[in-house]
Amino acid sequence: MPRPDPNSIVLTGASGGIGTALALEYAAPGRVLLLVARDPDRLQALAAAVEARGAQAEWAAIDVRDRAALRSALAAFDARHPVDLVLANAGVTGGLGPDRSREPDAASDRQFDINLGGVVNTVTALVEPMRLRGRGQIALVASLAGLRALPDMPSYSASKAAVVAYGHSLRGWLKPFGVSVTILCPGFVTSPMSARHKGAKPFEISAEDAARRMRRAIERRAAIHAFPLLLATGIYLQGLLPPKLADLFMKGFEAEIDPDPRFERE
């Protein structure tokens, strides 16, 4: 029996590399998308591109850390267009300080507040209506770094690992109610976020390729999808090694992360 196609979709982090690619991947006649991000100009341009592909587009310039504003916007959208799929995609990166000193407090806090708190704020805004309707899909964008921490990105890795754990818990809770949960763990994806990552980026793929892989995983109701395959396999296999050997393997991923210019005033 074919699974129903999602017609009403919520996407956070819509103005970023993967977010924009996901919006365009899902843009098709008969669908309505709510695009959420902080930059109204980029959201307006993306909404126009989505509508050019035949979908309806609404947008909301909201920081996912603003729980009240996010819940209000998502609840209003769900009342008009009962949500079939929510893509919790908003995320930021960060790394160590100068000369491999500790992470700045503000950068560390921001990663947990957006990468984990933003996911929770997004899901909790819609999970009860989905549960009560007995249908829906939740997709959480984590990272391969959530499966094996990167040595120069402690808070990013920990926040994404928490998203993985949150997704597993949600799936166990919601499956009896007809709501599926897919955890998405991409590797390196070409984007403005990736451009700030100064280090090896093996098997880097385009945002469009990542969006296609994510859509296919969501369509088949995958519990977790880590990609690209070769890199994900290496991550899984090093988990079987003794810690000292695993640490040597991860040294190949050392990197410097340029500060995110979007948050210079925070």
**What pLDDT is recorded for position 260?**
87
Q: What is d(CA 67, CA 75) in angstroms, rounded to the nearest whole number?
A: 12
What residues make up the domain containing 225?
8-263
Are 215 and 175 in contact by the 8 Å Cβ rule? The answer is no
Are 11 and 25 in contact by the 8 Å Cβ rule? The answer is no
Higher pLDDT, 191 or 82: 82
Instruction: Report yes or no on 108 lying in a domain.
Output: yes
What number is the average pLDDT over the span 188-210? 92
Q: What is the pLDDT of residues 138-183, one digit of tens each?
A: 999 999 999 999 989 999 999 999 999 999 999 999 999 999 999 9
Candidates 26, 156, 166, 236; catalytic one: 156
Provide the 3-class DSSP secondary structure of residue 158: helix
Q: State the average pLDDT for the chain.
A: 94
Q: What is d(CA 149, CA 254) in angstroms, rounded to the nearest whole number?
A: 11
pLDDT over 90 at 200, yes or no:
no
Q: What is d(CA 169, CA 12) in angstroms, rounded to the nearest whole number?
A: 21
Higher pLDDT, 45 or 4: 45
How many domains does one find in the chain? Answer: 1
Q: What is d(CA 108, CA 260) in angstroms, rounded to the nearest whole number?
A: 12
- Our CA angle for 151, 154, 155, nearest 5°, is 160
User: Pairing mode, if any, of strands 85-88 and 136-141?
Assistant: parallel
Q: What is d(CA 33, CA 47) in angstroms, rounded to the nearest whole number?
A: 9
Instruction: Report yes or no on 171 lying in a domain.
Output: yes
26 has catalytic annotation: no
**What pLDDT is recorded for position 185?**
98
What number is the average pLDDT over the span 108-125? 98
Q: What is d(CA 180, CA 139) in angstroms, rounded to the nearest whole number?
A: 8
Q: What is the pLDDT of residues 24-52, one digit of tens each?
A: 999 999 999 999 999 999 999 999 999 99
Instruction: Report yes or no on 3 lying in a domain.
Output: no
Instruction: Report yes or no on 106 lying in a domain.
Output: yes
Q: What is the pLDDT of residues 232-260, one digit of tens each?
A: 999 888 888 898 888 888 888 888 898 88
C-beta neighbour count of 225 within 10 angstroms:
18
Instruction: Report yes or no on 1 lying in a domain.
Output: no
Q: What is d(CA 245, CA 261) in angstroms, rounded to the nearest whole number?
A: 36
Instruction: Report yes or no on 2 lying in a domain.
Output: no
Instruction: Report yes or no on 88 lying in a domain.
Output: yes
Strands (E), 21-159: 32-37, 56-61, 85-88, 136-141
C-beta neighbour count of 31 within 10 angstroms:
21
User: Pairing mode, if any, of strands 179-186 and 224-227?
Assistant: parallel
What kind and span of H or E run contains 11?
strand 8-12
pLDDT band, very low/low/confident/very high, at 261 (cuts 50, 70, 90): confident
**What pLDDT is recorded for position 65?**
98
**What pLDDT is recorded for position 50?**
98
pLDDT over 70 at 1, yes or no:
no
Please list, in sequence order, all residues whose beta carbon lies within 8 angstroms of the beta carbon of residue 124, skipping any fewer than 6 positions away. Answer: 71
**DSSP percent split of the chain into helix, strand, coil, nearest 5:** 50, 20, 30
pLDDT band, very low/low/confident/very high, at 3 (cuts 50, 70, 90): low
Instruction: Identify the CATH number of the domain in which residue 127 sits.
Output: 3.40.50.720
**What pLDDT is recorded for position 175?**
97
